[in-house]
Structure formats: C-alpha cells, structure tokens
C-alpha cells in the first residue's frame, strides 16, 4: 500500500485534514459519505464517457457507449429505483457490446479509448460494490448535488483545445489521487468491511490517476508540469480551506 501511495502523496500538496477524517468516522456522516461515494463512482464513469464521446469517436460508437451507461442512468434517475433489483440484473448485459471506432485524424484516439474504457468498467463496478454495501446497511440511494470540489477545479480549465482536454485530464488525475489518499487515510479507522473495500479500491484508483496524467502529457503540445503545479495548488486550497458541506471531496469541516 505504501508503494502505491508514495507517488500520490508527492503529487498532492496536502493531506486530508484530521477534522475531515474525524467527521467521516461519525456513523451518521459515514452513511452520507457512502451515498456521496456511490454518486462519485458513477460521475467518474460518466465524465470518462463524455471525454471519449467528445474527442475520440463518431456517433455510431457514441451510441454504443450510451447504451452501456443506460442501466446505470435508468437506476439513478428513477425515483422508484430498487437496489436489489438493480444488483440482481444480468450483469453481463452491462459489458460494452461491440468495439469503439476511433475518429479518423485523432492521434491519441485509441489510447484515450483504451484507458477510459477500462476506467469506466471499473467505476461501474465500484458503483455496484458501494450499492451492495449500502443495501446491506439499509442505506437508500439518493442523487446528491455536487459539492464545490470538482467545480472549483474545473473553473481553471482553459478554454481552447487541446488545452481544455489536457486540463480536464489533469483535473481527473487530481480527483483520482485525492480519492486514493482519502481511502487510505480512512480505511484503518473504519469497520473491517469498509476497511477491506477501501483498500481494494486503492489499486485501481492509483492507476486511474496515472492514466489521466499520461494521457494529459501525451496530448499536450508542451510539458504539463506548470499546469500540474497550478492545479495542485488549487486542489490543496479546496482541501484545507473551510467547507460548509460535508462530502467525499469536501474541505475542512467548518
């Protein structure tokens, strides 16, 4: 675990404040956190899907992706949803059926597709894993409004290509890296089921962070070091400054 975490700790400019960890360990807060975590897993998949659709594939391949996401989106947007019915569905149906064709003339297309499809598959799986834990604990799924964290990072994304894509990928790397850091810091303080689960998530989230960074560097026309440094400062500020809301990625509880 320490080998996985060392580069992440170096990448992030600060650790999660102890006040946030203490708050997360309150039983009531922990339930809210699971719901938010569940939301985040789906959002991670949706964001990656959006990137593939916008930059790397044509409309026909786009429809394949949309049909992959459909059962998940039907579940979250249906107020009559049932976790048990959703989890009992034939999961094989939720594999991506068919192959995505990279758009002509997009050099990074197949690399972006390969890395992001794997990521989406894993985020969908994490989403289902969190749901299972929620179901066992009698916690209902809820759609939550987004906190300030991702928005606060996205505000700094440049508005011309390929800089927009490069910045979004760097933001993706920070969100993944912070999730990793929080899972690792929370795990030893939680019950054994969550402890095991959070540690199991570290490996894939650590790879997601690296995949995002590698993609950013391969697409950028210059060294991304300065952009990474910029987002590192913005990110750390969002983590250490006071935050009125309590979320998986919120700042210091006020």
Rounded Cα distance, 13 and 4, in Å: 17
**Residue 211 in the binding site for Fe ion (CB under 5 A):** no
Is 168 an interacting residue with respect to Fe ion (CB under 5 A)?
no
Residue 182's CB is within 10 A of a number of other CB atoms, namely 22
**Contact predicate 58/105, CB 8 Å:** no
Contact flag: residue 243 with Fe ion (CB under 5 A): no
Q: How far is the CB of 123 from Fe ion (least distance, A)?
A: 5
Among 36, 123, 128, 181, binds Fe ion (CB under 5 A): 123
Nearer to Fe ion, 76 or 106 (CB): 76
Cα-Cα end-to-end distance for the chain: 31
Q: Give min distance, CB of 165 to Fe ion, in A.
A: 18
Distance (Å, rounded) from C-alpha 153 to C-alpha 177? Answer: 14
212 vs 246, which CB is nearer to Fe ion? 212
Binding flag, residue 208, Fe ion (CB under 5 A): yes
Contact segment (CB under 5 A) with Fe ion among 11-19, 24-32, 208-216, 233-241 equals: 208-216
Q: Which is nearer to Fe ion, 101 or 210 (CB)?
A: 210
Q: Evaluate whether 50 touches 150 at the Cβ level (below 8 Å).
A: no
Q: Is 115 in the site for Fe ion (CB under 5 A)?
A: no
Tell me the C-alpha to C-alpha distance, in Å, between residue 178 and each of 39, 91, 160, 232, 238: 16, 29, 26, 11, 11
* Residues in touch with Fe ion (CB under 5 A): 41, 44, 123, 126, 176, 205, 208
């Amino acid at each position: 675990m320490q080998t996985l975490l060392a580069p992440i700790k170096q990448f992030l400019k600060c650790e999660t404040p102890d006040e946030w960890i203490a708050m997360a360990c309150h039983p009531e807060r922990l339930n809210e956190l699971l719901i938010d975590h569940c939301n985040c897993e789906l959002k991670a998949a949706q964001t990656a899907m959006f990137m593939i659709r916008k930059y790397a594939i044509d409309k026909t391949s786009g429809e394949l992706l949309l049909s992959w996401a459909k059962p998940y989106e039907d579940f979250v947007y249906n107020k009559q949803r049932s976790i048990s019915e959703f989890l009992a569905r034939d999961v094989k149906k939720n594999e991506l059926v068919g192959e995505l064709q990279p758009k002509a003339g997009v050099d990074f297309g197949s690399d972006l597709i390969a890395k992001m499809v794997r990521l989406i598959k894993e985020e969908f799986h994490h989403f289902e894993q969190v749901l299972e834990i929620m179901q066992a604990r009698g916690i209902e799924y809820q759609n939550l409004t987004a906190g300030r964290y991702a928005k606060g990072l996205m505000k700094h994304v440049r508005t011309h290509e390929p800089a927009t894509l490069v910045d979004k990928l760097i933001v993706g790397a920070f969100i993944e890296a912070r999730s990793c850091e929080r899972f690792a810091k929370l795990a030893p303080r939680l019950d054994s089921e969550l402890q095991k689960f959070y540690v199991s998530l570290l490996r894939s989230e650590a790879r997601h962070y690296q995949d995002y960074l590698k993609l950013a560097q391969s697409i950028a026309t210059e060294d991304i070091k300065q952009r990474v440094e910029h987002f590192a400062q913005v990110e750390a500020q969002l983590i250490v400054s006071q935050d009125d809301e309590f979320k998986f990625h919120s700042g210091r509880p006020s």
